[in-house]
Structure 1
Amino acid sequence: MNKLATFLLGLMFVAGIAQAQEEGTEAEKDNGLTEQNAADGSVKKGCDARGYCWGENVEETKSKYTFFSDNMKAKNYGQETLDAFNYLYTNAPYIHKNLYIYGLKLFKAKLSEETKKKDTADKNLITEYEDMVLKLYDERGKYFGKADTWESTKGKYLYRYVKDRPDFDERLPEYYNFYRGIADRDGEKTDDANMSAYVAIVAKLHISYKKAVQGFNKDPKTKAQKSAILTANSVIENKDGKYTDDQIKEYTAKKEAAEKELVNLETAFEQNDAEFKKYKSYNENWLMDEYDFVSEIAGKNIATAEAAKKDKDVKSWTRIQTMADKYIMGMLDIDCDFINEKLGAKFKADPSDLGTAKKIFGYSIRKKCTDGPYFLDAALVVFEADPQAAMASVIAGQYIKRDDVDKAIEWKEKAIELYAEDPTKQAETSIDLAKLYNKKGLKTQARAQAYKAIEFDSEISKEAYTFIGDLYMGSYKQCFESSNDNVHERACYLAAYDMYAKAGASAKMSAAQKQFPSKSDVFTLAAKGYAEGKPLQIGCWIGGSTTLRVRP
């Protein structure tokens, strides 16, 4: 190789070293830090390999964070710790989730400290700390994900913090939307604290609606028209017969005019009154829907907790249901007339209206109005949308009341099928079905269903064997009344005794025993092969055999 080539190679080598040194310097300069996306898509700057993102001023932020975290570990919640947090939260709110873990601990501690001062507590400072706690739950979800989880956790504190603030009533619709959003999303998993707050807010919103409506009812023009309607009604009814046909006709026209004017006044009120415009949607229909919504979630949680034998959860959700009954249902003047007339009229206009059907069914059960004219039809609509075994049994009961045994049998059979995961309920419903078969005179089917009940759950055997014994005891007229055989005609009582013995029903055993053949009858008919202790064929629908015994 000539000298020129050697020289050029040397230059290239030196240049390579220089470039490498320059690249190394740049690597040291940015310290390997990168930008990353937060959970909400915003950019986190100055992120290292451990997952800490220090923002623009890396060294200062690191120093502040070290100071802050050390103080938090030492439970030093003084002003210098607050200042360090504020710097970090302002300049790099995405540092690490620990900023929010420590931050929540810090502000809850400060809040507790200030609240304990009672009469000397700074209310503005308390509000500031409370708002910061709520904000930190929002921000943690924003930067580190699981926003839904942290929103639900925030809900546990929100109502507690804001319920006594001066602007609470003004912001009720906002708080309602917040808690309704949680309940819609979390469903059966909604925290009981959030549902408790939700119930309270629903009740307060309806109170606001009622206050707004009072403005309309207290208006002098409204009062005048309502008074005119009442006066007209008294004339139109003409209970004492003192008004002429012309007077009745005159006041009928006055009533129609007053009712028309009342509608006009109400329309004008709705359009012009700010309070009514704000709260008009939180009326009685809305409140009924809210009651059903809360009751559904509470009911599912109670059932789940009972199945898991979690007494604490049963108690918590029973409290929620009690709140709904008291504070929501308590404001609804619902009775049988309300169900049959108002809800009934709505259902009659649209028999496919599932929402109204659910209300008629649910309220009728709670208010003991199941004899209403729309209850059965509403139950059928609800069942079609969501087939449930218990509802099938209720529908069967309605057909029993109507003495439609065939339909009752059909629905009891559906109930048994739907109770597939609950053998005890299958057994109980089978006994009900057996009784219906007996009512139709189908004793063989009745007995078979009673035996089926024992197959489902042996715990019901006493009731089932007693029922079969009753079937046998009641079969004398059907099977043996016209018999000329004084021994064989008593076979049904012997068979009944056998069933009662299996059931351990001593009183019924004694009653059956009194109907056994007499010793003299057995002796007289000995030529037929009768003898005490020998087998006796029963015959008729009962079939089989029993042991011949005599009455005591």
Structure 2
Amino acid sequence: MRTKITLLIALMFGLNFGFAQNTEECMTKLSLMSEASKAKNYEAAYQPFMDLRKDCPKYNKAIYVYGEKILNHYIDKAAGADKLAYVKDLLSMYDERLVHFESQTKVGDMISDKAQLMYKYKTELGLSNEEVYNTFDKAYTTDLKTFKNPKALYTYFSLMVDLFDAGKKTDQELFDKYDDVVDKIETEVKISSEGLNKLIAKEEAGTALTKKDKQYKKYYESSLKVFDQIVGSVDSKLGDRANCQNLIPLYQKDYEANKNNTVWLQRAMNKLYEKGCKTDPMFVKILNQKNTIEPNADTAYYLYINTGEQRYLDQTMQLETDPIKKAKLTKKIGLDFYKSGSYGKARQYFQQALSLNPSDKKPHEYISRSYAASANSCGDTNFNKRAVFWLAATEARKAGNTALANSYQAKAPTKSEIFSAGNAGQTIKIGCWIGRSVTVPSL
């Protein structure tokens, strides 16, 4: 009996010693990999990383965080078969991380990174558009919250268009995915806008931004700029595939099955409006149905567009309470007035949009273009007409559009013309709807 107990103790001691030794080895290799990676010495980090994947895959999430950087380094420097081998290994590593650290991973973000890598090396990997699309779709359906990389969202939609063109996706699937991606972009824009607006308000209140605030401000501004570009790319990729000739028959066919589906009605109504189908009876039918079962600010505005009745425009402003959504709607109203040449009314709504959402500088650009378009009619002399371009340039700078500002500045009076007019430093009043004053630059 005593012999059995002694053997059991010896076995347990041996197991514990082995576990402690293994843990110590994992810790040592993790340290070697981490320190080398921090120094960007990925060659030194590679072997400890590979050992950790094999011997200690569950030890620490850092194995996979640094591992992505290590393998990307090797992908960048390699060529041919070696490059492809590293690409395949990185794809495998993404799967390993999901197995061992799914609860500590932004799953949507990581799967979309995997899909983007598959897309980049699609030909070399022998993958079809459908296989890559399905990986993006897995990111979207598994964890939409963290699937927010702008480039990945664009690639996801771009593949949908390619599959549609190849006859593998239907019109409805294409339009639904367009709405899905645009909705996701709008969600991310709203988050960044709200964050940036808080920092803008802090600055306007005279409170200095902390170092962390400045980092967040830079991030929010960069995010908004990128998403603005991406939504334009998504619209360009969709192109004329969503035109009145395609949309109206589709919605006529599906209307009865969806007439009580408020999401379908909202999306159909918005799409028909955006694509210039607002005079078609189908748009009116969908609009009236949506307004009957779930009126909102959009239905009120579309009713105003169709009827011209002021009460619907007033109702539009009353029904929307979310500042970011209201700013977007107000900007849309401004754009409609702008396109019709009602610049004074357009500016009124653009200024309201700026007040509601200061992070969106685009209304400044439309005000700038409105001034430029009115220069010839709002100035009483040739000099004063061209002076309007100073106002236009100022608004363009507020929009962050340097190229537009410079083009308008070039159309304003030159220094020699200011000298000849003898009005340097004087204030010029601009008439008609502009109703603003501009100070002539001093020489």
Query: 2:137 — aligned with what?
Result: 180
Q: Does 1:30 align with 2:15?
A: yes
Offset at residue 325 of structure 1 (A): 0.9
Is 1:198 matched with 2:171?
A: no
C-alpha distance in 2 between matches for 1:163 and 1:412? 48
In 1, distance between residues paired with 2:99 and 2:129? Answer: 25
What is the Cα deviation at residue 182 of structure 1?
Answer: 1.9
Distance of aligned partners of 1:203 and 1:186 in 2 relative to their CA distance in 1, 3 Å threshold: same
**1:306 alignment partner in structure 2:** 193
Q: Partners of 1:283 and 1:86 in 2: how far apart?
A: 45
Query: Once the two structures are superposed, what CA deviation does each residue of 1:413-455 show, in whole Å capped at 9, x if it has no partner?
Result: 75455334559979x99xx9xxxxxxxxxxxxxxxxxxxxxxx
Aligned to 1:325: 235
Deviations 1:286-333 (A, max 9, x none): 2122222222222333344334433322222222211221112x1505
Query: C-alpha distance in 1, partners of 2:324/2:58?
Result: 56
* TM-score normalised by the chain length of structure 1: 0.46
In 2: Cα distance, 1:423 partner to 1:145 partner: 34
1:371 Cα offset (Å):
1.8
Distance 2:90 2:183 in 1: 31
CA distance in 2, matches of 1:82, 1:308: 39
- Counterpart in the other structure of 1:107: 71
**1:353-409: CA deviations, max 9, x gaps?**
5565345412221122212212233124445676532432323443x35xxx6xx74
| Unaligned stretches of 5+ residues in structure 1 | 1-14, 34-45, 49-57, 115-120, 210-278, 433-456, 458-505, 508-552
| Cα shift at 1:100 | 2.4
After superposition, the CA RMSD in angstroms is 4.2
C-alpha distance 112-289 of structure 1, shift in aligned 2 (>3 A): same
Structure 1 pair 20–195 and aligned structure 2 pair: CA distance change class (3 A): same
SS of 1:371's partner is coil
Residue deviations 1:75-105, cap 9 Å, x none?
6544x86555444433442233333234333
Structure 1 pair 394–86 and aligned structure 2 pair: CA distance change class (3 A): same
Q: Which moved more, 1:138-147 or 1:366-375?
A: 138-147
Question: Residue 299 of structure 2 corresponds to which residue in structure 1?
Answer: 391
Equivalence map 1:468-479=2 (5 Å): none
C-alpha distance in 1, partners of 2:146/2:260?
30
**Matching residue of 1:344:** 252
Change (3 A) 1:105 1:300: closer
Partner Cα separation in structure 2 for residue 350 and residue 138 of structure 1: 39
Q: Which residue of 2 aligns with 1:316?
A: 226
Q: How does 1:3-402 map to 2 (within 5 A)?
A: 25-31=10-16, 46=19, 63=25, 66=28, 69-70=31-32, 73-74=35-36, 77-78=42-43, 82-83=46-47, 85-114=49-78, 121=79, 123-146=80-103, 149-166=106-123, 170-187=127-144, 189-191=146-148, 192-209=150-167, 279=168, 282-309=169-196, 310-328=220-238, 330-332=239-241, 334-335=243-244, 337-347=245-255, 351-352=259-260, 354=262, 357-383=265-291, 387-398=295-306, 400-401=307-308
DSSP 3-state at the match of 2:280: coil
Distance (Å, rounded) in 2 between the aligned partners of 1:424 and 1:150: 29
Contact preservation (8 Å) 2:133, 2:160: yes
CA apart distance, 1:74: 3.9
**TM score, norm. by length of structure 2:** 0.56
Q: Structure 2 CA distance, aligned partners of 1:412 and 1:363?
A: 20
Structure richer in helix, relative to its length:
2
Gaps of 5+ in 2: 197-219, 334-355, 357-430, 433-443
Cα pair 1:100 1:140 within 8 Å, conserved: yes
Indicate how the Cα distance of structure 1 residues 342 and 94 shifts in structure 2: closer, same or farther if over 3 A, else same.
closer
Per the alignment, residue 320 of structure 2 pairs with 419
Is the 8 Å Cα contact of residues 58 and 100 (structure 2) preserved in structure 1? yes
Q: How many angstroms apart in 1 are the aligned matches of 2:117 and 2:230?
A: 16
Q: Aligned letter for 1:334?
A: N
Pick closer, same or farther for the CA change 1:389–1:179 going to 2, 3 Å.
same
What is the percent sequence identity of the aligned residues?
A: 16
Query: Secondary structure of the equivalent of 2:86?
Result: helix
Higher relative CO (CA 8 A, sep ≥ 6), structure 1 or 2?
A: 2
Is residue 115–residue 135 contact of structure 2 (8 Å, CA) maintained in 1?
no
Distance 1:105 1:69, change over 3 A: farther
